[in-house]
């Protein structure tokens, strides 16, 4: 599959039944290489890695980018189910087992990095290295607001009104909308995500992603709980932060790094999607050094 006409790079499409749900993925590189599982951000899809994958040392790597549940071409959770961080981890572990991959590295962007960190804490003997792109754990919830937040989330979760997804008359209008979405991105970068994330309907085009992904979390981890997860990570960690990203590149924003045992970080010029937009080559250079 050529995700976008701008680059003549081809991925192999895959889909697997984990016994829990059907999950889609794209793959490239050496099928006998060490597996690198790539996890995308919230409301994105596996195509977020379309520009960076060809820049990795694919002679040594089996690169597998997953569409997370409810995203891209992966199955949506059944009616009545909810999307929760720990359930993402369970589905990702089921995915790896379905592919018979027992030891691997993880590359995670944004939400994918959060899932990767929790996964590494939950399966320390399985995950060798963990690379995070503009991600350093979940957003923490305030204990004083946990009841109020739960009340709001409970009401929206049980609402009989499904959140409406926007409909666009053309693909170009969808690209324009995505440019100003989560983490403003260029038209070129938006084109990759839209190519995999959009579907045709009678009225025009809309997103493949599950509308329920916009529901608020029933409960968020506290900062103390997040610290506990970070301390449980045994994998070697590389944290690639963006100078204009979502993680504050100051003493407070980088404080969570202190709880990781074996880590290093770098700050690169660019925004939240710097691996897809501003600096794919620079990010790839860091990753090739890390995963060698």
At 62, which helix (H) or strand (E)? Answer: strand 61-66
Residue 183 inside a domain? The answer is no
DSSP state of 212: G
Contact between 77 and 215 under an 8 Å Cβ cutoff? The reply is no
Q: Give the SS3 label for residue 67.
A: coil
Site of tokens 């890695």: 49
CATH value at residue 264:
3.40.50.1820
- Confidence class for position 162, pLDDT limits 50, 70, 90: confident
Residue tagged 């997040």 (tokens): 226
43 lies in which domain range?
12-142+219-290
Model confidence over 222-270: pLDDT tens digits? Answer: 999 999 999 999 999 999 999 999 998 888 889 999 999 999 999 999 9
Domain assignment present for 245: yes
Number of domains comprising the chain: 1
- pLDDT over 90 at 9, yes or no: no
Q: Answer whether residue 198 is part of any domain.
A: no
- Whole-angstrom CA distances from 119 to 85, 91, 93, 250 are 10, 10, 8, 26
pLDDT at 79: 86
Q: What are phi and psi of 160, to 5 degrees?
A: -85, -5
Q: Is residue 208 part of a domain?
A: no
Which pTM was predicted? 0.94
């Amino acid at each position: 599959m050529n995700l976008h006409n701008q680059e003549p790079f081809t991925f192999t499409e895959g889909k697997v039944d984990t016994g829990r749900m059907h999950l889609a993925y794209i793959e490239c590189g050496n099928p006998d290489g060490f597996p690198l599982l790539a996890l995308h951000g919230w409301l994105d899809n596996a195509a977020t890695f379309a520009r960076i994958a060809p820049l990795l040392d694919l002679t040594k790597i089996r690169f597998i980018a997953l569409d997370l549940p409810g995203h891209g071409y992966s199955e949506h959770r059944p009616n009545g189910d909810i999307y929760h961080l720990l359930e993402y981890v369970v589905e990702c572990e089921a995915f790896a087992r379905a592919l018979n991959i027992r030891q691997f590295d993880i590359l995670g962007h944004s939400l994918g990095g959060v899932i990767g960190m929790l996964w590494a804490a939950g399966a320390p003997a399985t995950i060798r290295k963990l690379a995070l792109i503009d991600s350093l754990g979940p957003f923490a919830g305030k204990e004083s607001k946990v009841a109020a937040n739960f009340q709001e989330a409970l009401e929206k979760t049980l609402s009989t009104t499904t959140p409406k997804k926007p409909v666009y008359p053309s693909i170009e209008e969808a690209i324009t909308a995505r440019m100003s979405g989560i983490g403003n991105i260029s038209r070129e970068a938006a084109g990759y995500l839209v190519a995999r994330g959009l579907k045709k309907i009678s009225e025009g085009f809309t997103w493949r992603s599950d509308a329920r992904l916009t529901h608020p979390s029933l409960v968020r981890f506290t900062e103390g709980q997040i610290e506990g997860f970070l301390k449980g990570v045994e994998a070697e960690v590389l944290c690639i932060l963006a100078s204009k990203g979502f993680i504050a590149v100051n003493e407070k924003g980088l404080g969570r790094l202190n709880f990781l045992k074996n880590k290093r970080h770098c700050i690169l010029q660019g925004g939240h999607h710097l691996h897809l937009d501003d600096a794919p080559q620079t990010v790839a250079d860091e990753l090739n050094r890390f995963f060698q």
